[in-house]
């Protein structure tokens, strides 16, 4: 796996720090997307564009049937649509909430209809009736249709462990904070463990922060208040690298002057990730938080946004500039797409549950910089482990689903490693 081109900072943002996604959390939700076996499909446009009514997604009948290779029959007299695929069949009537699947009557939430001479049918009903698994991800506004042949292969595995003590259960999920739409659905074991939990535990509960609050934290911790600017605190070459990126984006060269190097070093990778098609709002943590809100599951945070941004603010001046230099180099030198390939590889590692690669990446962090490793991994792992042990030793007899960056889980200072050393039995799930 070729990962040397990926800067240590960018790696940390993707798999370790929730605050990387915080600044985009309050952005508008993406429009509804339909995936077929992980790939986006177009089901009509203009007056024939899919729409949602009463929680049901409607799509143009003919476009859907052609895409799913469903045999279509239409009775114009009764306004009845019939479909068949293999040994599965169904029928529904325009304006009626009663339909049939393999001869059995079922009740629809909302009836099929004709709009502007286009027949629209409920996507979930048609998909499930012809053998597809249909899932809805609120966090990504994505409907996924998975064919029977690839259903098992399409589910992301991730990294999950289970610990029990005193009638309490903690599921530990190593996450990745940036993902794409093809990351979903997650494997059933992950979803079942999450559903069984009384609490969701995350690094930072981003649902409790607004865009304005995150901006205020950044302004408080990451701006100069003594009359100096970025130019006064980094080398001429480093500053020139920042202004060149801004100029290339059509932004004023002094746009980031008020910010300290660590803030700028966060800003540049966020542009890279966005350009590569990855989104922080699609990260596993974001998905779980949205699901928790939907089911009224309480969310507990192991850290705060102030603490995570404070990690950067407390770094030495030399390390802050080093991280900024890394970010500039990564932005300016895609080298045949190796940086994007590295992100692809990280996401593929998570989807396939490749623990060997995860351990290699975790161990490699010890060789980056002692100050960096101590601040971002070792010290944080101790704090999070203490809180997890608090869950396990409580008298509540509750189940917690704790989701934190994957790089925190294994290795010499990993949460799983520390729990094992402290006498807990940790089982891989």
What per-residue confidence (pLDDT) applies to 339?
45
What pLDDT does 243 receive? Answer: 96
CA 112 to each of CA 68, 91, 133, 144: distance values in angstroms, whole numbers, following the listed order: 18, 11, 20, 20
pLDDT computed for residue 138 by the predictor:
53
Asked if omega into 185 is within 30° of 0 (cis), the reply is yes
CB neighbour class for 312 (10 Å; exposed up to 12, middle 13-18, buried from 19): buried
Alpha carbon dihedral 155, 280, 17, 387, in 10-degree steps, equals -60
Whether 363 contacts 132, CB under 8 Å: no
The answer to whether the beta carbons of residues 30 and 281 sit under 8 Å apart is yes
Distance (Å) of CA 364 to CA 3, 4, 169, 213: 11, 10, 31, 34
What pLDDT is stored for residue 274 in this prediction? 54
pLDDT of residue 15: 65
Q: How many CB atoms lie within 10 A of CB 218?
A: 22
**Where do the H-state alpha helices sit in 130-275?**
188-196, 211-222, 236-248, 261-275
Kindly give the confidence (pLDDT) of every residue in the chain, 429 residues in length, as a single tens digit, with 9 standing for 90 and above. Answer: 334 334 555 555 566 667 765 544 333 334 567 888 778 888 876 657 888 776 688 888 988 999 999 999 999 899 999 999 988 899 999 999 999 999 999 888 889 999 888 899 998 899 889 888 787 765 456 788 888 765 555 578 999 999 999 999 999 999 988 887 778 889 999 999 999 999 999 999 988 988 888 889 999 999 999 999 999 999 999 999 999 999 988 889 999 999 999 999 988 877 666 555 556 667 899 899 999 999 999 999 999 999 999 999 999 999 999 989 988 987 887 543 444 445 667 788 898 899 998 998 888 888 878 998 999 999 999 999 999 999 999 999 999 999 999 999 999 999 999 999 999 999 999
Instruction: Please list the residue range(s) of the chain that carry CATH number 3.30.457.10.
Output: 33-139
Q: Which pair of structure tokens corresponds to residue 175?
A: 């996450």
Helices marked H in 249-337: 261-275, 284-294, 305-313, 317-332
Element (H, E) at 13: helix 8-15
> Which positions ≥6 away from 314 have C-beta within 8 Å?
375
Question: Which of 218, 188, 156 has the alpha carbon at shortest distance from 23?
Answer: 218
Q: Report pLDDT for 75.
A: 92
Give every strand in the sheet of 56-60, ordered side by side: 51-53, 56-60, 118-122, 113-115
Q: What are phi and psi of 28, to 5 degrees?
A: -60, 145
The pLDDT assigned to 135 comes to 74
What number of other Cβ atoms are within 10 A of residue 172's Cβ?
Answer: 26
What's the pTM value of the predicted model, to 2 decimals? 0.69
CA distance 173 to 402: 6
Class of domain 33-139: alpha beta
Identify any residues that bridge with 200 across adjacent strands, giving them in sequence order: 299, 401
Q: How many residues does the chain have?
A: 429
Tell me the three state secondary structure of residue 298.
coil
Q: By C-alpha distance, which of 5, 13, 9, 21 is closest to 327? A: 9
């Amino acid at each position: 796996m070729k990962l040397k081109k990926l800067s240590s900072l960018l790696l940390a943002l993707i798999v370790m720090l929730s605050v990387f996604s915080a600044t985009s959390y309050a952005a508008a939700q993406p429009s509804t997307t339909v995936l077929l076996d992980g790939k986006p499909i177009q089901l009509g446009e203009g007056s024939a564009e899919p729409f949602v009514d009463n929680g049901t997604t409607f799509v143009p009948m003919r476009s859907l049937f052609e895409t799913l290779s469903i045999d279509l029959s239409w009775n114009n007299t009764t306004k009845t649509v019939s479909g068949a695929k293999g040994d599965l069949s169904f029928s529904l009537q325009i304006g009626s909430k009663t339909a049939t699947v393999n001869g059995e009557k079922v009740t629809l939430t909302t009836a099929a209809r004709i709009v502007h001479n286009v027949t629209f049918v409920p996507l979930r009903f048609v998909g499930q009736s012809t053998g597809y698994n249909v899932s809805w991800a609120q966090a990504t506004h994505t409907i996924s249709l998975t064919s029977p042949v690839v259903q098992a292969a399409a589910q992301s595995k991730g990294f999950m462990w289970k610990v029990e003590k005193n009638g309490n259960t903690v599921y530990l999920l190593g996450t990745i904070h940036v993902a794409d739409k093809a990351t979903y659905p997650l494997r059933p074991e992950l979803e079942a463990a999450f559903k069984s939990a009384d609490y969701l535990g995350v690094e930072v509960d981003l649902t409790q922060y607004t865009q304005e609050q995150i901006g205020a934290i950044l302004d408080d911790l990451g701006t100069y208040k003594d009359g100096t600017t970025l130019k006064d605190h980094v080398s001429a070459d480093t500053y020139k690298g920042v202004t060149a990126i801004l100029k290339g984006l059509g932004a004023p060269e002094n746009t980031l002057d008020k910010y300290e190097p660590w803030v700028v070093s966060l800003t540049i990778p966020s542009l890279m990730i966005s350009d590569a098609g990855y989104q922080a709002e699609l990260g596993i943590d974001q998905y779980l938080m949205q699901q928790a809100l939907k089911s009224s599951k309480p969310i507990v945070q192991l850290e705060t946004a102030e603490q995570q941004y404070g990690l950067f603010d407390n770094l030495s001046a030399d390390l802050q500039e080093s991280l900024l230099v890394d970010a500039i180099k990564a932005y300016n030198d895609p080298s045949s797409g190796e940086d994007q390939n590295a992100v692809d590889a990280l996401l593929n590692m998570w989807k396939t549950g490749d623990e060997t690669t995860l351990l290699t990446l975790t161990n490699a962090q010890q060789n980056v910089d002692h100050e960096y490793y101590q601040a971002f991994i070792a010290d944080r792992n101790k704090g999070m482990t203490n809180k997890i042990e608090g869950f396990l030793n409580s008298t509540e007899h509750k189940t917690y689903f704790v989701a934190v960056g994957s790089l925190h889980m294994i290795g010499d200072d990993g949460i799983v490693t520390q729990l094992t050393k402290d006498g807990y039995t940790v089982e891989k799930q």
